[in-house]
Each structure stands twice: as structure tokens, then as C-alpha cells.
Amino acid sequence: MSPTSVPTRLLATFGLVALVAACSSAPTTATTPDTFSVWDPYPQFTAESDWVKTIEKCGTEAGVKIQRQAYDTTDLTSKVLLAAQQRTAPQVLVVDNPVVSTLAEAGVLKTNEEAGLDAEQVSPNLAAAGSLNGQNFGVPIGANTLALYYNKAVLSGAGVDPASVKDWDSLNAALAKVKAAGKKGITFSAIGTEEGTFQFLPWFWGAGGSLTDLPSGKTALELWKSWLDNGYAPNSVVGNTQTTSWQEFATGDYAFAENGTWQLGNAKKTGFEYGVIAIPGRTGGTAPAPTGGEFVTVPVQDNKDTEAKAGKIATCLTAPDKVLAADTALTYISAVPSVQQQQVSANPELKVWVEAVKNAKGRTGDNLGTKYPKISQPLWGAVQAALTGAKAPEAALRDAQASAK
């Protein structure tokens, strides 16, 4: 694809997004030949952080000065689409993994083959989120996912061994004991946004569900509804974000909380002993949880030499000898198995998270690509409808499937 085709495809495919973005100030990425722009979704990291130091080191190795700009994740996609239309796209872009297929379909990104990127060292299940129509775009810098945190004192008081939770039946038995002991069972996020879908997917996939056949996950939605009906989970889950559900767990009253690696720092501040187990599949094993985390990509440029040098910077950012420090700063599990082993050696409590990541799936995987958002929204609507009692789980998912089509 030639650079001249980018604006036309953007306007055709994402005219609305570009129009909305045009109402805000346009990104400025004017660079000299010796300055390369890197955009990322980590405004929380300052120049002193290991992440920024890694970027600067990769720029130095490529012989250029890095001009870094950080945006909130929600703003980054529209800004990149507009910038590509205006030919001011950054040379290197770090973007949330579900967005990769959107940008690829819009013609914003170079394929890995074109950019000289290599994802061979990356776990295939993580690299899959960057695949679209047989082509690969970008390399994951790391991943996070979901598991079950537990309160050791609450489980001990209820006579529950966390190691006994291996499937849905044993989890339900544990929740029943916790309730009988006068404590609260489990909290999670079922809010009507992508966060709600993200938290539902381990149970949906753990029930054998397929995103192209939403009623196939009926037993997962029945499970969640039963938790509310039996008083194992609070009604507040319908409005909970992952942050507010964590705040409920942090009160010390709950046995379990579904949440991610990003809460590890907060877990140490709760004042009670905690542990982590994998989310179980319906009949056992570890349920596939969705992957969070970003891909390092190379946007289309007018100059092939610029694209080649951008590819070298992107390769550096995801190289095993660089990514350990970056993943530690980002609280990510590395996408590279050899680096995962180093992480576990340094911090044994990450072992369960490494196993969860190994079993995780990309939300846009199975070649769903840009179809995923059209499925996710009806799915979180179905979850809301079932949990509030507006519809039976099976009917809610059936209606969601009709909307997704």
C-alpha cells in the first residue's frame, strides 16, 4: 500500500472518528530527520521512569533523538487516525492491542514484513491480536490479564482451601461456605462498557463459548446471574468498574475478586494477606482470559528510510534485553517466554500470572479484527440485561447475537 492511499481509506472507513477528532487540536509531530516521534498510552510515566529510559536508549541506538508524546488510551486512536490523515503520524506507535486491527484495516500501519518487525520470540496467543487477514502488524510489548485474588483470612474462616477451587462447582461450593460463615463471596465488574465484556470473557470462554455464537456462552451468564440470586456477589457489580470492584475487595469482607496484574501494588496495601488463583474453566483447567497490553507498531510514512529506522526502534523496544525493565515498569507479564522466566525468578508471586497469560486470548483473535467491537457491545448489553433481571440469560444472548449480525 502506498502512503498516498492512507487519507482516502481513513476517510472512507473512519470518517466519523476523524470528524470527532478534528474538533480537538491536531497532534503536532513535526520532526527533523534526526528526531523520531513515539506515541504511547502511558501519561503516568515521567522522563525518569524505566519505560521512558528504554525508549530513549532505543533512539540512541538507532542514531536519533526521541520526541515522546503520551496520551490517554481512549484519546490515542482518534488522534492517530487524524494524524495519519494529515500525514503527521508518529514514526513509532504503542497502542492497545484491540486497536491494532482497526488501525491496520484503515491503512495506518505497516505490516511486520514491510517494517522489518519479527514476533517469532513472542508467545503465539499474544501475537495473534495483531493478525488481520493473514498479515501481522506490530509486536506486543507485554500483557496483563485477569485472575482471582482471594482473602486468606476470609477463606480460612470459612474452611475453604483455595487450592480446592479447580472448576465452577468447587468455586460455587467455596462461595456457599463463605456466605454461611457471614462473609461476602465475590466481586467483579459487569458494567455496560468494554470493561464488563473484558471481565465476562474468561467465564464465557471457560464455558466453551465462541464470540461468533454468543448463545454458546449461556452457562457463563447463568453462573453470574446465580451469584447475584444466591447473594454470593453484590448487585453493585452491574455498575462496578474494575477499580470500584477492587475497592470492594479491599474492604476485607470479600473472599474473591476478579482483577488483573495492575492491582498487585494495591494488593500489598490492603492490610490483609492475599493470594491469587487462575480463573477456572467450567469443568476444570485454566479459563482463557482476555489479554490486555499494547503493541509496538510502525505507522505508514512518506519516506521508506524513515519507516526502516522506525522498524529498528520498534524492534529494540520489544527485544528481550530491553523489555524486562519496560514490562516491570508497566506491571506487565512479558510477551517473551524467556523474559517471563526472569520475571518469576525475581518475583515468584508472578507465576500464576504467567500461567494465566499463557492461556489468554486476544479479543480480536480468531480473525475477528474490527468485528470485535460490534460483538462486544451487544455482549455487555446482554450481561446487563440478565443481571438486572430484564431478560433471561439465554434470551439476552440470543438478542445480542441478532444485534451483532
Which triple of cell numbers denotes residue 121?
520470540
pLDDT at 27: 36
pLDDT at 330: 87
pLDDT at 13: 38
Walk along the chain (405 residues) in steps of 10 and give the mean pLDDT of each run.
31 34 34 82 92 95 95 90 95 96 95 95 93 94 96 98 98 98 98 96 98 98 98 98 97 98 94 97 97 96 94 96 89 94 94 95 88 95 98 98 94
Domains assigned to the chain: 3-140+294-331 (3.40.190.10), 146-291+368-404 (3.40.190.10)
pLDDT at 329: 85
What are the backbone dihedrals phi and psi of residue 302, each rounded to the nearest 5 degrees, phi first? -80, -20
pLDDT at 405: 82
pLDDT at 73: 86
- Which pTM does this prediction carry? 0.86
